[in-house]
Amino acid sequence: MRIFSGIQPTGRKHLGNYIGAIRQYVEGQDRGDPAIYCIVDLHAITVPYQPSELRRAVLDTTAMLLAAGLDPDRCVLFRQGDVHEHTELCWLLTAVTAHGELNRMTQFKEKSARQRELVSAGLFLYPVLQAADVLAYRAHEVPVGEDQRQHVELMREIAIRFNNRFGETLVVPEVRVPEVGARIMDLQAPTDKMSTTASTEQGTLYVLDDEKAITKKIKSAVTDSGSEVRVAADKPGISNLVEVMAVIRGVDNPTIEREFDGQQYGAFKQAVAEAVADFLRPVRERYEELRPDEAGLQQTLAEGAERAQALASATLRDVRHAMGVGGE
């Protein structure tokens, strides 16, 4: 079974990214044949950015993934912009993608609403490039957060429509969303998902935060009236902390509720802070070892791109032949 997932190039990965995506990547590299992970710099240019910052962020993200446990010998890790098959397949797939489908994409509506100057065509076509990312590798499984489910449904529809029109060529992928920890919420706005771009600084737990910062953020997290540590619709703040604790411990929410039954919020927050700090410490320390070796990170990405291109070029050859594009 082939697994594929892409990750945005930003080094400031937060706890939600780590729990909801990066840990799945590490787990998937032993299930995938192969597991393929792509740092999506082409997606990153669909919104305002600085070229120098993008290059730095790609290396930040590479170091983060390696620090979390990705092993280039057990998976394929590469930079999207190094494999031109992604962009060519994207164009070919626009022939079987409906304009109306792209108009209905929730993320396009949200991101375009935030653009004050230019809403790029790239932002509109983002889901088609995302489909090309996955379909180029004939991946069977796509591990993503819940917010990407709509995009995976679209790529499934694109693959089905292509196969119906041109013959069985593409694999129709399945989505994989983590059952627990898929939605870690902002500590200061617990009804909003923790986000690299939209969350508050004080409400976001970054993987690279030191222990002092982690403790300060969790102790100042918004909680609710009362003092009972339990998950409830009217207690989003404490529910979020229970979920965080449960994911880190590898248990269910009721186990955490029983453990802290009768304790005050202050003691519970302190326990969560210590658990999060212990959980993230090895990754932060390993990142600090890896990040200075930029030549080594570039070499890892180049070797991964070579392996990725060998897989994607075979798919693209079949797609071009099925569509009657180019020479034989």
* CATH class of this structure's domain 3-181+293-323: alpha beta
Select from 3.40.190.10, 1.10.240.10, 3.10.20.340, 3.40.50.720 the CATH code of 211-288. 1.10.240.10
- pTM for this prediction: 0.90
3-state DSSP call for residue 9?
coil
Predicted confidence at residue 23, as pLDDT, reads 86
**Which of 315, 32, 1 shows the shortest CA–CA distance to 159?**
315
**Which of 95, 93, 125 shows the shortest CA–CA distance to 107?**
125
Q: How many helices (H) and strands (E) does the chain have?
A: 14, 5
C-beta separation of 138 from 2 below 8 A = yes
Q: Alpha-carbon distance 141 to 16, whole Å?
A: 20
**Domain edges within the chain:** 3-181+293-323, 211-288
Between the CA atoms of 167, 170, 172 and 178, what dihedral angle is there, to the nearest 10 degrees?
Answer: 180
Q: Helix %, strand %, coil % for the chain, to 5?
A: 55, 5, 35
- pLDDT tens for the chain, 328 residues: list them: 999 999 999 758 999 889 878 888 998 999 999 999 999 999 999 888 999 999 999 999 999 999 999 999 999 999 999 999 999 999 999 999 999 999 888 877 777 777 777 888 888 999 999 999 999 999 999 988 777 888 899 999 999 999 999 999 999 999 988 665 557 899 999 988 887 766 678 899 999 999 999 999 999 999 887 788 988 888 899 999 999 999 899 898 999 999 998 888 999 999 999 999 999 999 999 999 999 999 999 999 999 999 999 999 999 999 999 999 987 6
